[in-house]
Structure 1
Amino acid sequence: MHLTATRLGRRLAATLLVGAAASTAALAQDDDLLNQLEQTPQTATPELVEATFKGLRLINGHTVQTPGQGTLAFLISHRFGALNSGAYNFFGLDQATLRLGFEYGLTDRLTVGIGRNSMEKAFDGFLKYKALRQSTGPRAVPVTVTLLATSALNTLRITDNVERTFGRRLTYTYQALVARKFSPDLSIQVMPTLVHRNLVSRATEPNDVYALGVGGRQKLTKRTSLNLEYYYLVPATKPSDLRNSLAVGFDIETGGHVFQLHLTNSQGMIEKQFITETRGNFFKGDLFFGFNMARNFTVRAKEGFRK
């Protein structure tokens, strides 16, 4: 009888120990579950790809870059005459054209710009909007897409029998700039383009000209790069006696600005000129040496950086 009571006591003690252990484990699991429920999951965000190009211009045309909110960019573009014009014209240095322009970032994505070009005494203005930005990580965007709409006014005095009202002197250009930064050294950009001319030289020529531009930047050193740019005119809308614009450039970053040197068969510096008015043969010496220089000024600090 005594043994039986002893065994029952041991069994009861063992049962209590097992139950206590099970209860402790259950409570620990409940605590872990509550902790997991209370923890806020960290949502991963995509990382934007910066500096697809270093400048606002590739060579003649725009890049996907915008100045940024509150930044004013002052651009000077210069083109000399054709190198094959001979020693009398100092190989083109006597026949220079100039464009001065200002571009202001209303936001990081939206830019407004104006310019004055000595060629055709043209005034131009544009709106530029960065619709998509290349990013890495979750929900990555593979390219940057910037939309560009420009207008140019030819104010040159022309004495002919053609009526040249204000409206007929206007030309409009619409572009989608699509670029991808493949590596820290290489960026490629594609530019489907429509140029609408209110006035054409011949009745047989179309008012709308379609072109496909392609260009790229290959970094050579920390502060230099080689740039290429080409605009292919769609044959069905190509104006007569014109050639595709081709340019090769060399960029130098010097602190607060980018200095661009280039050779091109286009003397014009706005879209209507270098896309629809190029007549030089790049491979026969019809080359125009020129440069672009841009300087940025902070007009208004971003909201997040105000003191």
Structure 2
Amino acid sequence: MQTRRHAIPFLLSLALALLALTPAAQAQDDLLGQLEKATDDPGKREVVQATFKGTHIINSQSVETPGKGTMAFLIQHRFGTLNSGAYNLFGLDQAVLRLSFEYGLTSRLAIGVGRSSQEKTYDGFIKYRAIRQTTGARPMPISVTLFASSAITTLKFNTPEVRTTASRMTYAYQALIARKFSPALSIQLMPTLIHRNYVATPEQENDVYALGGALRQKITKRTVLTADYYYMFPGNTASNFRNALGLGVDIETGGHVFQLHVTNSLGMTEKFFVAETTGKFFEGDLYFGFTVARNFTLKPQI
């Protein structure tokens, strides 16, 4: 009987302990279930990443920026036209080079500087990701990046009039509007204004308006087809120059993005490829070129 009296309090204590633990276990299971549901919630809003793999497409800027604390170093090289003949090794004896640095001040804001051998031109720009495409709750269907640049040519002109610093300046303004339709396909539109402080004759236009378009089509895990095109709105400039067209292949190799392309534009800044393209794409005036981009993280994210 004594043993039984000791057993009853023990069994009561065990039952009470189990009853106390059951709600805690159920609460823990409910909490884990809520966390799992939140993680898999299709309504969660997320920013669409990698609309384009780099900050440039062929001639054009893309909606992308390097990212906060990241510096991108770009080497852009463009040879002569393929129809220049064997004597010039089909353009390989002639070349134009542009070197540039781009830096992400924030995840949305970037600045950059560059120098092109064409007319010994220096340029600087600023890019701001005003709108980013998102999925989930209240999705944003497009990305919009605002772009503004200025360029100055330092070439020695053989003209009787004095070319002041202001007369050597050109400005470009763009709204880069893009949508990533799928992991493989992205499309971008680019309303563009080029303002030139100096034009050679009164008939030429200080302001040139154009509409650009670009696309990215992924074909393998590391290979992408690209294209961009600029249509100049009717005017004197459009009547005397050509619309820029480019076709290319992007190859991603670890930390590098290697871009190969052909285009009818020799220039690699907006001043040249939007308003001063002279090549006839379908008559063989094709400039073969490449771009190598390398990113350096200067401020690692914690």
The interval holding the TM-score normalised by the smaller chain is 0.7 to 0.9
Provide the residue aligned with 1:173 in structure 2: 172
| 1:198-251 CA-partner distances (Å, limit 9, x unpaired) | 011211111000000001000010000100100000013635420000000000
Provide the residue aligned with 1:189 in structure 2: 188
Matches for 1:2-41 after TM superposition, within 5 Å? none
| Structure 1 residue 90 displacement after superposition | 1.1
Identity of aligned pairs, percent?
61
Range moving further from structure 2, 221-230 or 197-206 = 197-206
| Rg (Cα) greater in structure | 1
Provide the residue aligned with 1:14 in structure 2: none
| 1:72-100 CA-partner distances (Å, limit 9, x unpaired) | 00000000001111111111111111000
SS in 1 for 2:139: coil
SS in 2 for 1:235: coil
Provide the residue aligned with 1:137 in structure 2: 136
Q: How many residues align?
A: 263
Separation in 2, partners of 1:108, 1:225: 25
| Structure 1 residue 108 displacement after superposition | 0.5
- Structure 1: any 5+ residue segments left out of the alignment? 1-38
Separation in 2, partners of 1:240, 1:97: 26
Separation in 2, partners of 1:130, 1:255: 25
Instruction: Say whether 1:208 aligns with 2:207.
Output: yes
Provide the residue aligned with 1:231 in structure 2: 230
8 A contact 1:196–1:209 mirrored in 2 = yes
Shift >6 Å, 4+ stretches: none
| Structure 1 residue 182 displacement after superposition | 0.1
Provide the residue aligned with 1:245 in structure 2: 244
| Structure 1 residue 163 displacement after superposition | 2.8
| Structure 1 residue 162 displacement after superposition | 3.3
- Structure 2: any 5+ residue segments left out of the alignment? 1-33
Range moving further from structure 2, 227-236 or 43-52 = 43-52
Q: Which amino acid aligns with 1:154?
A: T
Q: CA RMSD in A?
A: 1.4
8 A contact 2:203–2:236 mirrored in 1 = no
Separation in 2, partners of 1:157, 1:88: 29
Separation in 2, partners of 1:80, 1:105: 30
Is the alpha carbon distance of 1:167 and 1:140 closer, same or farther for their aligned partners in structure 2, counting shifts above 3 Å? same
SS in 2 for 1:84: helix
Using the size of structure 2 for normalisation, the TM-score is 0.85
8 A contact 2:97–2:116 mirrored in 1 = yes
Provide the residue aligned with 2:24 in structure 1: none
| 1:262-303 CA-partner distances (Å, limit 9, x unpaired) | 00000100000111110000000000000011000001123x
Q: Which amino acid aligns with 2:220?
A: T
Provide the residue aligned with 2:295 in structure 1: 296
Separation in 2, partners of 1:178, 1:225: 20
Provide the residue aligned with 1:90 in structure 2: 89
Is the alpha carbon distance of 1:82 and 1:157 closer, same or farther for their aligned partners in structure 2, counting shifts above 3 Å? same
